[in-house]
Amino acid sequence: MDEQQIKSGEVSRLFAKPCEFIKSASDVEHLPPPIQSEIAFVGRSNVGKSSLVNAVTGRSTLAKTSSKPGHTRQLNFFLLANQLMIVDLPGYGYAKASKKEVEGWTGLIFRYLRGRPNLRRVFLLIDSRHGLKENDIEVMSLLDDIALSYQIVLTKTDKTSKAELDALVRKIAAEAENHPAMHPELLPTSSKDNIGILSLRQAMAVVV
């Protein structure tokens, strides 16, 4: 489905259909069968992944949220309208976990990204207050290396001034020249204020 052909009514109907939790997996040997088209949310700990999953699906308790970083420690799979699998990945860069735990989560993320044949797009979440960090660039480079399409989603824009947000968008747009697998459109969002949720839904609906 072409992005230009996606209409808001069609997207609304898709996201009005049931979205159910399928399973959690702590290793790639126990993933669901790769049947449906799949998209994944990835980002640093405390970037707001689970909150955004809840906001974009319109279900406030679908993904478990926590004020403490590092809450998501497995791959969590949710099936939307029996057509699109949504995956909430563990956060990376969580400094308060043990080195062994952090290496385990990071390894799980990378193995999943490298080996999932039905994964159509990755949404890389960046906290708009902090911008790109070194480990974000590492994930971007991995996705470039395996030619897996990804799109940057800026989170928590309700906590960022317009001037700061505009500067960050320009900086990331300049960085995009070095990343061939990166989708050119950035998506500013706020799960709290419902900013950018329709645009994110449209980007997700493209892969169905």
Helix (H, G, I), strand (E, B) or coil at 83: coil
The secondary element (H helix, E strand) that includes residue 196 is none
DSSP state of 27: S
Provide the pLDDT for residue 67.
43
SS3 labels along 106-138: HHHHHHHHHHCCCEEEEEEEEECCCCCCHHHHH
Q: Residue 6 has which token pair?
A: 């996606």
Provide the pLDDT for residue 105.
66
Among the residues of the chain, which ranges form H helices?
Answer: 8-16, 49-57, 99-115, 134-145, 162-175, 197-205
Q: How far is CA 8 from CA 15, 82, 165, 170, 202, in A?
A: 11, 20, 25, 27, 8
What is the distance of C-alpha 45 from the center of its chain?
A: 12
Helix (H, G, I), strand (E, B) or coil at 19: strand
pLDDT band of 96, cuts 50, 70, 90:
low
Determine contact, residues 169/140, Cβ cutoff 8 Å: no
What percent of the chain has a predicted confidence (pLDDT) above 70? Answer: 86
Q: Residue 165 has which token pair?
A: 């947000």
For 119-128, letters b (16+ CB in 10 Å) and e give bbbbbbbbbb
Residue 9 has pLDDT above 90, yes or no: no
What is the rounded CA–CA span in Å between residue 191 and residue 66? 14
Q: Per residue in 174-192, pLDDT tens?
A: 988 899 999 999 999 999 9
Q: Per residue in 62-75, pLDDT tens?
A: 866 544 444 557 89
Average pLDDT along the chain: 88
